[in-house]
Amino acid sequence: MSAGPGEPRRLHPLTPPARGWVVIAACLGVVVHNVNTGWATPSRLGIGLVVVVPIAFAYGYVSWWFTTFRIEGDDLRIDSGVMFRRTRHVRLSRLQAVDIVRPLAARLFGLAELQLQVAGGDKAEASLSFLGEADAQKLRAELLARAAGVRPDVGEAPEQALVSVPLSAVIGSVLLSVATWAAIAPSVAVVVVALVFHEIAFLLGFLPLFLAAWQFTVGRVIRNFDFTVARSPDGLRLQHGLLEQRHQTVPPGRVQAVRIVQPWPWRLRGWVRVEINVAGYGGKDVDNKETILLPVAPRAIAHGLLGQILPGVDVDAIELIPAPRRARWHDPVGWTALAYGADAEVFVARSGRFHRILDVIPHAKVQSVRRTQGPWERRLGLASVHLDSTPGPVHVKAARRDAAEAEAMVAEQAERSRIGRREAGAERWIHNGSDSSSGPASSPDGGAR
């Protein structure tokens, strides 16, 4: 990538073979699907290998040749398409995040994918796949610098390690998960039935069930493998993944809401999980790899990391107001866990008797405040208050409040949000990192790394 500013650049020449595994996987899928029908004869397999695969790779090289990108002022322009040309302009001033992803197939060729997230989106606005790993790092640093309004040749910002999640903690968190055993039990039952009745082909019909069990067990370990969090002037940097390695930067000033989750089996170890809403990511799935700030860690370390995102905020010091006693008629089990609180900076809501959830949202990030009241709530004189954020796993809700209290809360939080937005000022990608307190890099077992 030696082209100058404004000049078109191309993806790495090894992009077509790096993408070619999809064609091979599709051919194998057709063979497996028709293995019992007699359709997958050796001659047809030969035709697929000799004709289909080379044609697919040839089209891949033509598509690569017609795909270029360039930086034009405040835009990243991407031109693509063979039969139908497509031009996409990505405004660098609206960038929320620039992630580097290394799928397994790309890593074999020394390549990486660059994913660009912008404000107002719920998925990647654009991606460049694939670039050389060094070129991807260089282009990422250039885009972040241009988004911050500084010199594009400023280079990669330095980083300081904060948290490293041991593999033992990742495996332990998966084993101490109700969802894990709920996914494994049906799969084991199906395998036992197939072995007892000697119907091995019977297993093919339950392939989606096995894939779900994989995602909830081994897949979670693979996604969170070697999970590290580091601090840099442009935000918190997350790196994780065994087969697909992801290098993600989360600008603290653009985190919209935070959720601290503690499933009841994790209480034995004092572990919690930290999830976030970041504009541009979306992702409502609890295991979405783009919205997990920390997959598992002791509560003290999680709260310390929360201090990096919300400096000066101590959620433990915020007094929580419990729900009224008549809320037990609506939530007989979980009503004692319902509570909310607020200080000058954030609003906090707690819920979950067994699956504990603590939601935190800065007043300046609240997009709307609304009051809801179902028929049973109306009968009990209760109502719930919702503080809406950008799409993501965090949904802040003060549930089962007294109806008059909820009405006053809506007006109070609306005013706090207006004041918070007025005092927040402009957000910037890169800031002076010297104002952040330095501390030892920690691991979830409580020790310094």
169-190 pLDDT per residue, tens? 999 999 999 989 998 999 899 8
Q: Do residues 349 and 315 touch, judged by C-beta distance below 8 A? A: no
Most confident of 25-29, 67-71, 104-108: 67-71
Q: Per-residue pLDDT averaged across 378-398, rounded?
A: 94
The DSSP symbol for 389 reads: -
Q: How many Cβ atoms sit within 10 Å of the Cβ of residue 341?
A: 16
Most confident of 41-55, 305-319, 333-347: 333-347
Residue entry with tokens 């885009």: 143
> By C-alpha distance, which of 353, 418, 403, 340 is closest to 373?
403
What tokens appear for 421 in the block?
């937005």
- Percentage of the chain beyond pLDDT 90 is 50
- Per-residue pLDDT at 374: 95
Element spanning 42, H or E = helix 42-47
Q: Answer whether residue 33 shows pLDDT above 90.
A: no
> Which pTM value belongs to this model?
0.83
CA distances from 304 to 313, 315, 335, 341 (A): 10, 11, 29, 20
Q: Do residues 235 and 250 touch, judged by C-beta distance below 8 A? A: yes
Express each pLDDT in 338-375 by its tens digit: 999 999 999 999 999 999 999 999 999 999 999 999 99
The torsion angles phi and psi of 344, rounded to 5 degrees, stand at -70, -20
Q: What share of the chain is helix, strand, coil (3-state, %, to 5)?
A: 40, 30, 30
- Per-residue pLDDT at 45: 67
Q: Do residues 187 and 181 touch, judged by C-beta distance below 8 A? A: no
Q: Helix H segments across 111-239? A: 133-148, 167-175, 178-196, 207-216, 218-223
More confident residue, 123 or 166: 166
Q: Do residues 143 and 155 touch, judged by C-beta distance below 8 A? A: no
Q: Answer whether residue 82 shows pLDDT above 90.
A: no
- Per-residue pLDDT at 448: 37
Rounded to whole angstroms, the Cα distance separating 333 from 336 reads: 7
Q: Answer whether residue 437 shows pLDDT above 50.
A: no
Model confidence band, residue 147 (pLDDT cutoffs 50, 70, 90): confident
SS3 364: helix
Q: Do residues 121 and 282 touch, judged by C-beta distance below 8 A? A: yes
What tokens appear for 203 in the block?
């297993």
Rounded to whole angstroms, the Cα distance separating 381 from 326 reads: 9
Maximum CA extent, the chain: 76
Average predicted confidence (pLDDT) for the chain: 84
Q: Answer whether residue 151 shows pLDDT above 80.
A: no
Q: Count H helices, E strands: the chain?
A: 13, 21
Express each pLDDT in 195-234 by its tens digit: 888 877 778 778 888 888 888 899 999 999 999 999 988 7
The DSSP symbol for 285 reads: S
Q: Answer whether residue 443 shows pLDDT above 90.
A: no
Model confidence band, residue 436 (pLDDT cutoffs 50, 70, 90): very low
Model confidence band, residue 283 (pLDDT cutoffs 50, 70, 90): low
Q: How many Cβ atoms sit within 10 Å of the Cβ of residue 244?
A: 18
- Angle subtended by helix axes 21-33 and 53-65, to nearest 10: 150
Residue entry with tokens 């994918």: 113
- Per-residue pLDDT at 48: 66
Rounded to whole angstroms, the Cα distance separating 106 from 69 reads: 20
SS3 87: strand
- Per-residue pLDDT at 280: 67
- Percentage of the chain beyond pLDDT 70 is 83
Q: Answer whether residue 337 shows pLDDT above 90.
A: yes
Amino acid at residue number 434: S
Q: How many Cβ atoms sit within 10 Å of the Cβ of residue 283?
A: 20
- Angle subtended by helix axes 178-196 and 207-216, to nearest 10: 150
> By C-alpha distance, which of 303, 379, 382 is closest to 346?
303
Element spanning 267, H or E = none
Express each pLDDT in 285-314 by its tens digit: 445 567 899 999 999 999 999 988 888 899
The torsion angles phi and psi of 428, rounded to 5 degrees, stand at -130, 150
Lowest mean pLDDT among 18-32, 43-57, 433-447: 433-447
- Per-residue pLDDT at 73: 83
Half-sphere exposure in the Cβ direction for 299 (13 Å, CA): 15
Amino acid at residue number 83: M
- Per-residue pLDDT at 357: 97
Rounded to whole angstroms, the Cα distance separating 89 from 421 reads: 29
- Per-residue pLDDT at 426: 52
More confident residue, 250 or 416: 416
Q: Answer whether residue 444 shows pLDDT above 70.
A: no
**H, E, C per residue of 57-69:** HHHHHHHHHCCEE
Q: 427: Cβ–Cβ under 8 A, 6 or more apart, which residues?
A: 251, 253, 254
- Per-residue pLDDT at 447: 43
CA distances from 247 to 9, 91, 308 (A): 23, 21, 19
What tokens appear for 9 in the block?
């650049």
What tokens appear for 350 in the block?
């707690």
